[in-house]
Amino acid sequence: MAWQDLVGSYSLQYVPQSVLDRMASSHMLGIFFRLDTDPGLHIWAGVNDIPAGFDSLDENGTVYLGGGRLLNVPTLEVLVNGQSSSVEFGISGIDPDTAAKVLDTMPDVRGKDLKIGITTLDDYYQPTSPIIALWTGTASHPTESSLAVSGSENPTTTITLATVSGNNTRSRASLVLWSGPHQKAMYPTDKFCDGTARLARGVAPAWPNY
């Protein structure tokens, strides 16, 4: 399937026509990973470091580091009227000492925006346009794992970052109130939660007939 067929009808000029035209005739596509930490993390799925950037997000001169092969990149879904999606991104082949230093010096990632974008590359592996954002998520936490080795094999570590998209949380939001008294503590005239205790016992409400 041509890249143009993949995104053509969806793009509605969101993807520049010049990029679509190049996708139709070239497989040189750059995938970019931007984590809004302090300092920011900028990686792309390639070998060399290249200057690139998301429009209005990255400053001129921002360099995306070549991360090699990005592992555990799942199908990225844009949820419409959905709850949430949880995905993990990973980089493997890191020696254990380097991995430990990365985790020890890593800035706080929880709650930071993560963007995945693409653009085509020219014959010199340079971006032909600003990075086009295709997916946005919220970082949760990093993890590390190592496979058992034998003989003369060198141990390696895989670092992954858990990320969620959509409305995903394990805790109850502070403004989600479940009882009448709690609701009235903030909104004295609001009777929306007056029947919470009765309905919690399984009492079927009598719906009005209009």
Domain count for the chain: 2
* 48 vs 41: CA distance, rounded Å: 16
3-state secondary structure of 51: strand
DSSP 3-state percent helix, strand, coil across the chain (nearest 5)? 20, 30, 50
The answer on 194 and 94 residing in a single domain is: no
Decide if 66 is inside a domain. yes
The answer on 197 and 106 residing in a single domain is: no
The answer on 124 and 31 residing in a single domain is: yes
Amino acid at 173: A
The answer on 181 and 128 residing in a single domain is: no
* Residue-number span of the structural domain to which 195 is assigned: 175-205
Give how far the C-alpha of residue 166 lies from the chain's centroid of Cα atoms, to the nearest Å: 10
Decide if 57 is inside a domain. yes
Q: What are phi and psi of 58, to 5 degrees?
A: -100, 140
Q: Tokens representing 43?
A: 């990686």
Decide if 39 is inside a domain. yes
Decide if 3 is inside a domain. no
* 86 vs 177: CA distance, rounded Å: 26
For the chain, the average pLDDT equals 77
Q: How much is the pLDDT for 68?
A: 73
Decide if 75 is inside a domain. yes
- Residue numbers in the chain where pLDDT is lower than 50: 1-12, 172-173
The answer on 157 and 201 residing in a single domain is: no
Q: How much is the pLDDT for 3?
A: 45
Decide if 7 is inside a domain. no
The answer on 31 and 112 residing in a single domain is: yes
Q: How much is the pLDDT for 181?
A: 74
Decide if 94 is inside a domain. yes
Q: Looking at the whole model, is its pTM more than 0.75?
A: no
Query: How confident is the model over 153-209, as pLDDT tens digits?
Result: 888 888 888 888 866 555 544 555 556 777 777 778 877 777 766 666 666 666 666
The answer on 54 and 117 residing in a single domain is: yes
The answer on 157 and 92 residing in a single domain is: yes
Decide if 4 is inside a domain. no
Give the side-chain half-sphere CA count within 13 A for 155.
10
